């Protein structure tokens, strides 16, 4: 097993919040950004966790993200808002947008919020969990910088552009789907490169369109591959339509890469949809039906090699419960990058860290 540092979630949140506040984010916004990253770590989505802190800080220091955005909201229809994020941090803009979608859904049954001029917003599940925790059905879509080719192409054009859906249940674990359009989340490419490791075969091409397992060759002009072949490529284009064309944000290869584009803002687009689960029946009945579906699903005959059937989001929910108790594991590379940032900011590192 690889060596790692273990940090309690609340301590990692406090530490990351101080790092963001040190470069000018207001305390509330710093905590929102840090919270989005730490929750990704809690759920085992480490590619979207505090691994991202140095990149976010660099963009803030370079003035590529606005630490004090004037987020504006325009009512486009009774149940639809259009938000200009003013180049704010994606986690701040995204949380505000889902808040508005939830408010619209409470008033009208459904709410649609389109967002332009935002940035990388981290783990997409953050926003649908926000809806689920408010008792709502939530959907979150975003576009992203070029990472996948259109079907038949060999150069990055569409983003990995994850979609997420969260649906509350009664006694069972909520359904939480969070999936990128690539076989492998793009963050894994950067994590592997940082650790000097290879990636599995069949997931990426180099700049000449040849299969590669070298993450650096993907970063240096290569491309990731969509899941499901032509179907994943089609969904990647759909995300660019809903989040770029539809919202007024960048699209068609123009979204800036948070790790590589340091001469302009990203102009990421998001689209949030929220619905009341009791639109067509009492809430108690909806939740009972969700529980029944989940129980029937999990009771199906298992294929060879499977101990149980899990629903989307169940594994992450278990990881979150475990890491809240045991702490969050960080690789030496990620931990060292955070300590370097702390030294640069003149603040102490996290307390009570274990190395195992």
pLDDT digits (tens, 9 = 90+) for 29-79: 999 999 999 999 999 999 999 999 999 999 999 999 999 999 999 999 999
Per-residue model confidence (pLDDT) at position 189: 85
Residue 121 has pLDDT above 60, yes or no: yes
222: confidence class by pLDDT, cuts 50, 70, 90: confident
Give the residue with greater pLDDT, 209 vs 4.
4
pLDDT tens-place string over residues 9-28:
999 999 999 999 999 999 99
Q: What is the Cα–Cα distance from 228 to 76, expressed in whole angstroms?
A: 35
For the segment 275-286, the average pLDDT, to the nearest whole number, is: 98
Q: What is the Cα–Cα distance from 52 to 40, expressed in whole angstroms?
A: 11
Per-residue model confidence (pLDDT) at position 2: 78
Q: What is the Cα–Cα distance from 289 to 86, expressed in whole angstroms?
A: 41
Q: Are 178 and 205 in contact (CB under 8 A)?
A: no
Give the residue with greater pLDDT, 202 vs 148.
148
Residue 138 has pLDDT above 90, yes or no: yes
For the segment 224-230, the average pLDDT, to the nearest whole number, is: 92
Q: Give the chain's mean pLDDT.
A: 96
Our measurement of the distance from residue 93's CA atom to the centroid of its chain's CA atoms, rounded to an integer in Å, reads 13
Q: Which pair of structure tokens corresponds to residue 351?
A: 């307390």
191: confidence class by pLDDT, cuts 50, 70, 90: confident
SS3 355: strand
For the ranges 15-24, 171-180, 203-212, the lowest mean pLDDT is seen at 203-212
Whose CA is closest to 117, among 97, 138, 137?
A: 97
Q: Which pair of structure tokens corresponds to residue 331?
A: 């690789």
- How many angstroms separate the Cα of 41 from the Cα of each of 38, 129, 328, 331? 5, 15, 7, 12
Whose CA is closest to 41, among 55, 51, 33, 56?
A: 51
Residue 83 has pLDDT above 80, yes or no: yes
User: How crowded is the C-beta side of 103, counted as CA atoms within 13 Å?
Assistant: 11
Residue 1 has pLDDT above 70, yes or no: no
Per-residue model confidence (pLDDT) at position 195: 83
Per-residue model confidence (pLDDT) at position 188: 80
Our measurement of the distance from residue 106's CA atom to the centroid of its chain's CA atoms, rounded to an integer in Å, reads 25
For the ranges 83-92, 112-121, 192-201, 240-249, the lowest mean pLDDT is seen at 192-201
209: confidence class by pLDDT, cuts 50, 70, 90: confident
Write the CB contacts of 289 (distance below 8 Å, at least 6 apart in sequence): 281
Per-residue model confidence (pLDDT) at position 305: 96
Q: Over the Cα atoms of the chain, what is R_g?
A: 20
SS3 83: strand
Q: What is the Cα–Cα distance from 283 to 170, expressed in whole angstroms?
A: 9
| pTM summary value | 0.93
Domains and CATH numbers, the chain: 1-61+304-356 (1.10.1530.10), 68-182+226-299 (3.30.1370.60)
Residue 237 has pLDDT above 70, yes or no: yes
pLDDT tens-place string over residues 318-344:
999 999 999 999 999 999 999 999 999
- Count of CB atoms within 10 A of residue 35's CB? 19
Helix (H) or strand (E) holding 5: strand 5-7
- How many angstroms separate the Cα of 23 from the Cα of each of 50, 63, 251? 16, 10, 29
Per-residue model confidence (pLDDT) at position 193: 87
Residue 270 bridge partners (DSSP): 115, 142
- Torsion sign across C-alpha atoms 221, 187, 313, 298: positive
């Amino acid at each position: 097993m690889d060596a790692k540092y273990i940090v309690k979630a609340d301590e990692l949140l406090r530490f990351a919040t101080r790092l963001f506040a040190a470069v000018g984010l207001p305390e509330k916004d710093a905590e929102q950004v840090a919270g989005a990253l730490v929750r990704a770590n809690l759920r085992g989505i480490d590619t979207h966790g505090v691994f991202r802190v140095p990149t976010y800080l660099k963009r803030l220091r370079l003035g590529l993200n606005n630490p004090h955005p004037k987020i504006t909201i325009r009512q486009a229809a009774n149940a639809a808002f259009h938000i200009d994020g003013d180049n704010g941090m994606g986690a701040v803009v995204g949380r505000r947008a889902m808040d508005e979608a939830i408010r619209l859904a409470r008033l009208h049954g459904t709410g649609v919020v389109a967002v332009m001029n935002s940035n990388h917003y981290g783990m997409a599940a953050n926003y649908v969990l926000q809806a689920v925790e408010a008792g709502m059905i939530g959907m979150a879509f975003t576009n992203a910088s070029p990472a996948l080719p259109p079907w038949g192409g060999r150069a990055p054009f569409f983003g990995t552009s994850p979609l997420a859906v969260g649906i509350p249940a009664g006694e069972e674990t909520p359904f939480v789907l969070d999936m990128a359009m690539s076989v492998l989340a793009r963050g894994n490419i950067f994590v592997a490169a940082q650790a000097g490791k290879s990636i599995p075969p069949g997931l990426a091409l180099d700049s000449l369109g040849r299969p590669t397992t070298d993450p650096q060759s993907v970063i240096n002009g290569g491309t990731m591959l969509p899941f499901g072949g032509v179907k994943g490529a089609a969904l990647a284009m759909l995300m660019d339509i809903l989040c770029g064309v539809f919202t007024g944000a960048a699209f068609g290869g123009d979204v800036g890469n948070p790790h590589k584009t340091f001469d302009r803002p990203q102009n990421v687009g998001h689209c949030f949809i929220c619905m009341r689960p009791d639109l067509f029946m009492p809430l108690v009945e909806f939740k009972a039906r969700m529980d029944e579906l989940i129980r029937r699903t999990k009771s199906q005959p298992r294929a060879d090699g499977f101990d149980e059937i899990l629903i989307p989001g169940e594994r992450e929910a278990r990881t979150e419960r475990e890491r809240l108790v045991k702490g969050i594991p960080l690789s030496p590379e990620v931990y060292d990058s955070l300590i370097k940032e702390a030294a640069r900011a003149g603040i102490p590192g996290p307390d009570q860290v274990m190395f195992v």
